[in-house]
Amino acid sequence: MNILVQKFGGTSVATNERRNMAVSKVINAIEQGYSPVVVVSAIGRNGDPYATDTMINFAKSINNDIPKREMDILMSCCEIISSVIFTNTLISKGYKAKAFTGGQAGIITNSNFGNADIIRVESNHLMDAVNQNIIPVVAGFQGITVDGEITTLGRGGSDISAVLLGEALKAYAVEIYTDVDGIMTADPRIVSNANILKKISYNEVFQLAEQGAKVIHPRAVEIAMRGNVPLIIKNTMTDSQGTIITQYNDAYNNIYNADKLVTGIANLNNRVQIVLNMANDENNIFEKIAENKISIDLINIFPDKKVFTISEQDLQKLEELLEKYKIDYTIKENCSKVSIVGNRIRGVPGVMSKIIKILSDNDIEIYQTADSYDTISCLISQDKTEKAIRALHDEFKL
């Protein structure tokens, strides 16, 4: 059985025309001898009738504080609607298809509503369908607890569903269909002349995703890497070859950009820089921050102060904590973390100094930096983000 998982994102299922294009990709797979397993996201974006944000706003218009459990039940409906519509589109073209909720597809999670972790995948129901030549169409982004509670996997979670099923079904590959031709050297909405990367390693795409490139969920990349499932990012609306994500050695065999130091650039907006003016951490504040599930980043420890960044979403929670322990602090809001990623920057001297020069030549002040063996990040003012990315993209000749 040659299973091919095909995931279609929100814009790919948004209109009749796009769904027909998506269905033609499924038919194509069948004609090539694959057994497709389809995973769909919710239909459209905020404002569209069946989109997730539309539902959230509707519920919030009645009461802003929706319990997390009920929120997950509500959000899961959007992908379920999408799976039925997609199934019916396939049936209308003469194919046998069957819609599955995440739970029915066997995705078992813990009860961390809104951001549930996977416990296991029981793929026997999907396998039964595949064995009967029925195309399963699975509602992405959701699972079920052992007690039967509906859960969701967090924003972008349909990517996770697709890769999990790919791993469990021992698929030949997982194709992620979206609205761009593949993984590009930068977000094409920011850099209009960004280039498609034909091949990229799991590790680099993980870093890009982790540093804000929303084209694929970082957790999905991790799972694909764990299961050694090839991931392919493609455009629903074109016939482009897309990007193949594989092991590093495969990715750089005979590849056209193997001489380039930097693979891509990504950014994370809405970061806040925090400075704690204190010498010793008498209150174990970093432990308290972790207990409150506030994730911190770009950490620098000095004798008289501690500097780090958080997401704007966590600012209120953090401020309450710092005030409770009477810690003197200052904040800098509206920051953005711009990161360059490339497996080949490790051990190459002068990359950081080049970045510093490029940004300073463009009048962009750097508030903080961090580097690991394949990623260099700079914290800057958010209103300079696009300028910084374009300048770095130019200078590193991506």
326 labelled binding-site residue = no
Q: How far apart are CA 391 and CA 395, in angstroms?
A: 6
Scanning 8-16, 76-84, 135-143, 369-377 for contacts with ligand ADP by CB under 6 A, the matching segment is: 8-16
44 binds, among ligand ADP, Mg ion, none (CB under 5 to 8 A by kind): none
246 labelled binding-site residue = no
Q: How far is the CB of 373 from ligand ADP (least distance, A)?
A: 20
Residue, CB closest to Mg ion: 156
Closest C-alpha to 162, from 126, 195, 190, 186: 126
Residues with Cβ within 8 Å of 392's Cβ and at least 6 positions away in sequence, in order, are: 262, 265, 338, 340, 355, 358, 359
218 touches Mg ion by CB under 5 A: no
Which tokens in the block code for residue 125?
């129901």
178 touches ligand ADP by CB under 6 A: yes
102 touches Mg ion by CB under 5 A: no
Q: How many CB atoms lie within 10 A of CB 195?
A: 17
180 touches ligand ADP by CB under 6 A: yes
Q: Determine contact, residues 77/115, Cβ cutoff 8 Å.
A: no
CA distances from 199 to 25, 156, 172, 226, 252 (A): 21, 22, 17, 18, 8
Q: How far is the CB of 33 from ligand ADP (least distance, A)?
A: 26
Scanning 6-14, 88-96, 129-137, 349-357 for contacts with ligand ADP by CB under 6 A, the matching segment is: 6-14
Q: How far is the CB of 334 from ligand ADP (least distance, A)?
A: 20
* CB closer to ligand ADP out of 142 and 273: 142
Q: How far is the CB of 281 from Mg ion (least distance, A)?
A: 38
Q: Determine contact, residues 133/96, Cβ cutoff 8 Å.
A: yes
Q: How far apart are CA 141 and CA 153, in angstroms?
A: 5
- Phi, psi dihedrals of residue 235, rounded to the nearest 5°: -100, 125
In angstroms and rounded to an integer, the radius of gyration of the C-alpha atoms of the chain is 22
Q: How far is the CB of 64 from Mg ion (least distance, A)?
A: 26
Residues 153-192 that bind Mg ion (CB under 5 A): 156
Contact set with Mg ion (CB under 5 A) = 9, 156
